[in-house]
């Protein structure tokens, strides 16, 4: 039967609508990102391995004055252990559960760099853009690029050491990114951009400011768009925790050189504005572990093989296997981040090949962030030797350190007196 003109026009309009709709769907990015790690064995880690892991965490808690900790260990060939340990504080107790949220600390740096690399891949910003192109108030930094800020090689100073006492004394005060950066910019630049890793917190603040200006969105929205939404990190955001929160503590120093671990200050309410795009994110242990896997495998930018290609030593006296690049640390085969913010010490690392992943938070920041890396590496060394589950094959490669090595370092750096026998 011949189609009448009016009917043909209706069909044509309807067809056009369908074509446009399909085009829109076809052009709309798939915001879900798969993380390419080996399938996780659906089992708990062997009890002997769990016992070793738990001893490592509880001993680190004692050394750092932490009343509580949350830990996650994922060994794809063997099993999983996720647990909340201890209490919310040493005075009133309170249960610590594995679903509690906490501040992610320096893991925020890697997320900020995710935004930079994601936007660069879209052509919205350039890695070699000068920071002065986007932050007009820093004319002296005309030789510093956004990539320098991300890599921590800008030579800019840091602010946390000077401001932490103020944050603890006045926890609810809100800080602007420009205020924070100014304290770091006030310090002399000791190195030229690109030469030495310095890990400037002010540099990551400036990077966040530049990204906001270039992409015309608040940093919290950018972290959501480029990181948490694609990875389905429902408990992670740039800002304060939104659910059940692990209490954050900070012990005050005593005259004998130790710290008052029996009566720490509650610093849970220190504003995340003190960290912004350097250390202002919050998360939970499941999200933290998944993010570490995504970071290690470069899941958010799989076509980019340059971000971690030219790492620099993490410090003058650090082991040769410990380097920094792209807002992340590379420790042997592991990639991740660690550090401290008021109330919390965190560490999260993953092996992109084997999928071995560790994430941990301790709830007393007085001993500083070194314990986060040390404990994460101790846990990784223990878990790397976990026996394979039925039908699985353990990885062949090992780590360039032992669990005993970092257990001893944590004990040597203890800020609290050993408990009475």
Give the pLDDT confidence of 325-367 residue by residue, as tens digits: 999 999 999 999 999 999 999 999 999 999 999 999 999 999 9
How many whole angstroms separate alpha carbon 131 and alpha carbon 151?
A: 13
pLDDT band at 256 (very low <50, low <70, confident <90, very high): confident
How many whole angstroms separate alpha carbon 189 and alpha carbon 64?
A: 32
What DSSP character marks residue 392?
-
The pLDDT, as a whole number, for residue 4 is: 35
C-alpha distance from residue 303 to each of 121, 298, 307, 310 (Å)? 9, 9, 10, 17
**Max Cα–Cα distance, the chain, nearest Å:** 99
How many whole angstroms separate alpha carbon 196 and alpha carbon 213?
A: 27
107 has pLDDT over 90: yes
The pLDDT, as a whole number, for residue 405 is: 98
Per-residue pLDDT of 191-218, as tens digits, reads: 999 999 999 999 999 999 999 999 999 9
Contacts of 119 (CB under 8 A, 6+ apart): 125, 211, 214, 215, 226
State both tokens at 366.
């007085």
Q: Across residues 290-312, what is the average pLDDT?
A: 94
Percent of the chain with pLDDT over 90: 85
Q: Across residues 75-96, what is the average pLDDT?
A: 97
The pLDDT, as a whole number, for residue 305 is: 85
Q: Across residues 96-120, what is the average pLDDT?
A: 98
Average of per-residue pLDDT values in the chain:
91
SS3 for 184? helix
377 has pLDDT over 60: yes
The pLDDT, as a whole number, for residue 11 is: 36
State both tokens at 301.
């930018």
Per-residue pLDDT of 38-82, as tens digits, reads: 999 999 999 999 999 999 999 999 999 999 999 999 999 999 999
Per-residue pLDDT of 151-173, as tens digits, reads: 999 999 999 999 999 999 999 99
pTM: 0.91
How many whole angstroms separate alpha carbon 165 and alpha carbon 167?
A: 5
Per-residue pLDDT of 271-296, as tens digits, reads: 999 999 999 999 999 999 999 999 99
pLDDT band at 411 (very low <50, low <70, confident <90, very high): very high
Long-range CB contacts (within 8 A, 24+) of 394-402? 394/77, 394/78, 395/77, 395/351, 395/353, 395/354, 395/356, 397/333, 397/353, 397/354, 399/332, 399/333, 399/334, 400/319, 400/321, 400/332, 401/319, 401/332, 401/377
Check if the beta carbon of residue 259 is closer than 8 Å to that of residue 65. Answer: yes
C-alpha distance from residue 111 to each of 183, 266, 320 (Å)? 23, 27, 25
Contacts of 413 (CB under 8 A, 6+ apart): 63, 367, 370, 371, 374
| Residue given tokens 């879209």 in the structure block | 122
Closest CA to 347 of 113, 160, 106, 114: 106
pLDDT band at 30 (very low <50, low <70, confident <90, very high): low
C-alpha distance from residue 250 to each of 68, 127, 171, 266, 365 (Å)? 12, 38, 12, 7, 5
Region of poorest pLDDT, from 24-28, 120-124, 175-179: 24-28
Structural domains of the chain ordered from first start: 47-412 (3.40.710.10)
């Amino acid at each position: 039967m011949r189609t009448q003109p009016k009917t043909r026009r209706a069909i044509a309009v309807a067809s056009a609508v369908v074509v446009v709709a399909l085009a829109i769907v076809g052009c709309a990015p798939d915001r879900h990102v798969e993380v390419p790690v080996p399938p996780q064995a659906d089992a708990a880690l062997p009890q002997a391995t769990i016992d070793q892991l738990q001893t490592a965490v509880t001993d680190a808690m004692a050394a750092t004055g932490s009343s509580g900790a949350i830990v996650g260990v994922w060994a794809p060939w063997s099993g999983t252990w996720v647990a909340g340990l201890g209490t919310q504080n040493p005075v009133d107790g309170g249960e610590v559960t594995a679903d509690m949220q906490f501040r992610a600390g320096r893991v925020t740096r890697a997320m900020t760099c995710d935004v930079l690399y994601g936007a660069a891949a879209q052509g919205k910003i350039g890695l070699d853009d000068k920071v002065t192109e986007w932050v007009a108030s820093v004319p002296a930094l005309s030789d510093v690029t956004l990539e320098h800020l991300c890599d921590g090689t800008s030579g800019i100073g840091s602010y946390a050491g000077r401001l932490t006492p103020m944050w603890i004394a006045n926890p609810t005060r809100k800080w602007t990114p420009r205020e924070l950066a100014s304290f770091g910019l006030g310090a002399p630049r000791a190195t030229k951009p690109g030469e030495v890793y310095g890990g400037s917190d002010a540099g990551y603040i400036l990077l966040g400011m530049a990204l906001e200006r270039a992409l015309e969105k608040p940093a919290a929205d950018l972290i959501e768009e480029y990181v948490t939404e694609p990875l389905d990190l429902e408990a992670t955001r740039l800002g304060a925790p939104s659910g059940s929160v692990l209490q954050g503590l900070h012990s005050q120093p005593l005259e004998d050189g130790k710290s008052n671990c029996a009566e720490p200050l509650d610093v849970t309410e220190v504003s995340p504005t003190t960290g912004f795009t350097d250390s202002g994110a919050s998360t939970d242990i499941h999200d933290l572990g998944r993010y570490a896997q995504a970071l290690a495998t470069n899941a958010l930018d799989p076509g980019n093989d340059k971000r971690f290609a030219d790492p620099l030593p993490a410090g003058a006296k650090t082991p040769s296997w410990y380097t920094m690049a792209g807002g992340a640390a590379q420790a042997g085969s592991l990639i991740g981040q660690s550090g401290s913010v008021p109330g919390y010490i965190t560490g999260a690392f993953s092996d992109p090949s084997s999928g071995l992943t560790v994430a941990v938070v301790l709830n007393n920041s007085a001993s500083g962030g070194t314990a986060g890396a040390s404990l994460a590496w101790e846990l990784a060394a223990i878990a790397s030797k976990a026996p394979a589950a039925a039908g699985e094959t353990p990885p062949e490669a090992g780590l360039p350190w032992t669990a005993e090595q970092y257990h001893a370092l944590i004990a040597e750096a203890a800020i609290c007196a050993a408990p009475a026998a």
